[in-house]
Structure 1
Amino acid sequence: MARTTIEDVAKAAGVSTFTVSRALRGMDHVAPSTREKVLEAAKNLNYTVSKAASSLASGQTNRIALLSKDRIAGWFMGELMDGLYDVLNPARYDLLVYRAGNIQERSTFFTNLPANRNADALIMTGFPATEQEEQALASMGMPIILVNSPDTDCCQGSVAINDEESETTLVRYLAAIGHRKFCYIGRKEPLPGSQWGHDTRAVGYRNTIVDLNLTDCGMRYIDLADPLSVKQTVATILSLPERPTALCVWSDHYALAVIHELRSNGVRVPEDISVAGHDGSDVAASIKLTTMAQPAREIGRIAARKTLDLAAKKTLDEPRTIIQTVLTPGDTTRPIAHE
């Protein structure tokens, strides 16, 4: 069966193809009765507008590109994309997803710029751009929106949580219920140094430990892709001459792995060691984990609204939006008496 064309719709509605194009794209200067005829004809013929053709006519692709450092299957990215979809889909925008999860993927994206001329804006999440990458982004001539990135020099809009303040709140809470000996467990990055961004949660942890005169039993970093990483980290912590009573872990997902390994070693959580995560993910809810919750889906919605406004060449009322996290006490931490 032959595919329905715009000419078929025009013939059925008794109008020109130019009028069909304007009517189906919701443009002005089309009489309501004519638009109704065109829509009815298109519906009867199962005709949908070609985005490629519309792009040629309007200069807009009706696509938004998303570049992520984090694994696409992870909790945060899933929630973020749901939020983006909540806003972009009703506006008839598609989402293109790219990943920069390692050196090769990141280099390939910024060398080839696959989103160039293929999208109306780019949302970047999880890492700051280098000076060379900022030049590449500027050459694309499209709005750049950053999500949870400390660097806002190369973008026209951003939305983020304050990771440093969030971790500060968590440490202060644990100190308030009696904990004095702490350890921070972060995640290993695919590149050393600042090219993937500094761990500002670790900065908040370290500064608060000093401010409250607490004991830092060390900062450890794990890689969940390495089966031995969690085992070695937990074993090292348990062998310390001064064992911490509270562990602040980079994310809920990482906290779950740490709790499992602690219990495998006969350590009770929270009776022997309290463990707190970060994110407020479905993992936190399932095991009643103490965590700092961030509204990832709402972050996606806010980012999408900023993106559509910038793509429409509107001025943002609030270019930089900071979202507050919420302390959510659970069953993996407990008060401890002062020694």
Structure 2
Amino acid sequence: MGASIQDVADRAGVSIATVSRTFTLPDKVLPQTREKVLKVAQDLDYTISRSASALKSGKSARIAFLTGGELDSWYDSHVLAGLNSVLHDAGYDIALYAVSDTQERHAFFSDMSIKRNADAVLVVSFQIPCTEADKLATTGIPLIGINTEPIPEFSATVGIDETSCMRLIINHLVNLGHHKIAYVCLDPETEHFKWNGRARLQAFHSICSQLGDQVSSTVVYAPKDDTRADFALSQLARLDQYPTAVICMNDEYALPLLFCMQRSGYTIPRDVSVAGFDDSTYAREIGLTTIHQDPYEMGKSAAKTLLKLLEGENPDQNVQIQPSFLAVRSTTAPPER
């Protein structure tokens, strides 16, 4: 067990209050006493409780991480690691909150005690209505969106250019000779809960529309659970014309669908090309053509912006677009039919 504040006080021959003031109000302690307390604290490997220091400052020293995805997902875990690499050294902890439906989201933003429990809120991978964001805005704490569409209530947002990324994939497929392209995704408004995929879906519709007769496009909605690949494959089989290329909303959809197709007798990419989004774990090893993005760097960027906001400064950019590119690999090729 580590040394306690009482241990430091006893060794230094001072009161517990003096030890506390040495860390929280050093100017109120005589220099020689302060030096003695700090020397004893160092010898005992003692650090004052962060929560105690936070209580004194009126801050919680805690950032709320609110996600609509799985906390252990590739994307969220990398964003979280990037955030922590900056916020930990700045003295902040991260509190994790997962919301999966409208009711949970509404409950979070209606709970005004969040102001006492967090100094800022990060919204990751889902949309929030302006009415709920307004409730948080009344508390005066910063609200940052990561991988979500910007709204005026956000203090800042960090993400990729969804339209440009989708254009890269579609142009790549069209240049290979594909004209029948399907997009597999989660319904972005499942049970009125708006996931981050809406902008990506809108980009698919818009770009295919711009290409006119060059592309025959269709959208297949698949659930977020473990049945998504089998369900998507069954829906693709029902189409009047089977697509020669399939774009998936992310690698979590693309990789299972790829394996499901192979088990069903399809040869990839000879029979059908498959592309994803994210460049997540195993995408390179498997050879998946996908959009590369770096959620770790997104987390770092969001954290640096957040620290500026907490210091009362304005961010350099309210909408930050992170670098991304198309990683062309072995799952896309010219169609044979």
Aligned residue number for residue 294 of structure 2? 295
Distance verdict in 2 for CA 1:280–1:197, change over 3 Å = closer
Structure 1 residue 297: Cα displacement: 0.2
Report which stretch shifted further, 217-226 or 160-169: 217-226
Report which stretch shifted further, 24-33 or 157-166: 24-33
Aligned residue number for residue 216 of structure 1? 216
Structure 1 residue 230: Cα displacement: 2.9
Report which stretch shifted further, 283-292 or 24-33: 24-33
Equivalent-residue separation in structure 1 for 2:204 and 2:284 (angstroms)? 23
Aligned residue number for residue 132 of structure 2? 133
Aligned residue number for residue 251 of structure 1? 250
Q: Normalized against structure 2, the TM-score is what? A: 0.89
Equivalent-residue separation in structure 1 for 2:237 and 2:311 (angstroms)? 56
Secondary structure of the residue that 1:123 maps to in structure 2? strand
Aligned residue number for residue 4 of structure 1? 4
Structure 1 residue 224: Cα displacement: 3.6
CA offset digits 1:4-36 (Å, max 9, x no partner)? 22x542453456656644543596687887655
Distance verdict in 2 for CA 1:232–1:52, change over 3 Å = closer
Secondary structure of the residue that 1:208 maps to in structure 2? helix
Secondary structure of the residue that 1:77 maps to in structure 2? helix
Distance verdict in 2 for CA 1:76–1:60, change over 3 Å = same
Whether contact under 8 Å (2:3, 2:44) holds in the other structure is no
Equivalent-residue separation in structure 2 for 1:2 and 1:209 (angstroms)? 62
In the TM superposition, 1:94-243 aligns within 5 A as 94-113=93-112, 115-189=114-188, 191-192=190-191, 195-196=194-195, 199-213=198-212, 214-225=214-225, 227=227, 229-243=228-242
Equivalent-residue separation in structure 2 for 1:245 and 1:269 (angstroms)? 10
Question: Number of matched residues?
Answer: 336
Letter paired with 1:95 = I
Equivalent-residue separation in structure 1 for 2:69 and 2:25 (angstroms)? 37
Structure 1 residue 317: Cα displacement: 2.1
Aligned residue number for residue 328 of structure 1? 327
Report which stretch shifted further, 297-306 or 86-95: 86-95
Equivalent-residue separation in structure 1 for 2:238 and 2:194 (angstroms)? 33
Letter paired with 2:307 = L
Equivalent-residue separation in structure 1 for 2:29 and 2:320 (angstroms)? 39
Whether contact under 8 Å (1:71, 1:101) holds in the other structure is no
Equivalent-residue separation in structure 1 for 2:70 and 2:226 (angstroms)? 15
Whether contact under 8 Å (1:102, 1:190) holds in the other structure is no
Distance verdict in 2 for CA 1:10–1:261, change over 3 Å = same
Equivalent-residue separation in structure 2 for 1:32 and 1:286 (angstroms)? 60
In the TM superposition, 1:71-86 aligns within 5 A as 71-86=70-85
Equivalent-residue separation in structure 1 for 2:334 and 2:245 (angstroms)? 10
Equivalent-residue separation in structure 2 for 1:211 and 1:103 (angstroms)? 34
Equivalent-residue separation in structure 1 for 2:25 and 2:333 (angstroms)? 58
Aligned residue number for residue 277 of structure 1? 276
Equivalent-residue separation in structure 2 for 1:192 and 1:115 (angstroms)? 25
Structure 1 residue 87: Cα displacement: 0.5
In the TM superposition, 1:39-78 aligns within 5 A as 39-78=38-77
Alignment identity in percent? 32
Distance verdict in 2 for CA 1:115–1:31, change over 3 Å = same
Structure 1 residue 51: Cα displacement: 2.4
Equivalent-residue separation in structure 2 for 1:137 and 1:303 (angstroms)? 18
Distance verdict in 2 for CA 1:39–1:194, change over 3 Å = same
Whether contact under 8 Å (1:63, 1:120) holds in the other structure is yes
Distance verdict in 2 for CA 1:150–1:78, change over 3 Å = same
CA offset digits 1:131-165 (Å, max 9, x no partner)? 33122212322111111111331121221111122
Distance verdict in 2 for CA 1:40–1:245, change over 3 Å = same
Equivalent-residue separation in structure 2 for 1:132 and 1:48 (angstroms)? 42
CA offset digits 1:162-213 (Å, max 9, x no partner)? 1122111110111112212111111134634574456111222222222223
Equivalent-residue separation in structure 1 for 2:305 and 2:28 (angstroms)? 28
Equivalent-residue separation in structure 2 for 1:84 and 1:216 (angstroms)? 41
Secondary structure of the residue that 1:129 maps to in structure 2? coil
Unmatched 5+ residue regions in structure 2?
Answer: none
Equivalent-residue separation in structure 1 for 2:138 and 2:19 (angstroms)? 35
Q: Normalized against structure 1, the TM-score is what? A: 0.89
Aligned residue number for residue 90 of structure 2? 91
Letter paired with 2:99 = A
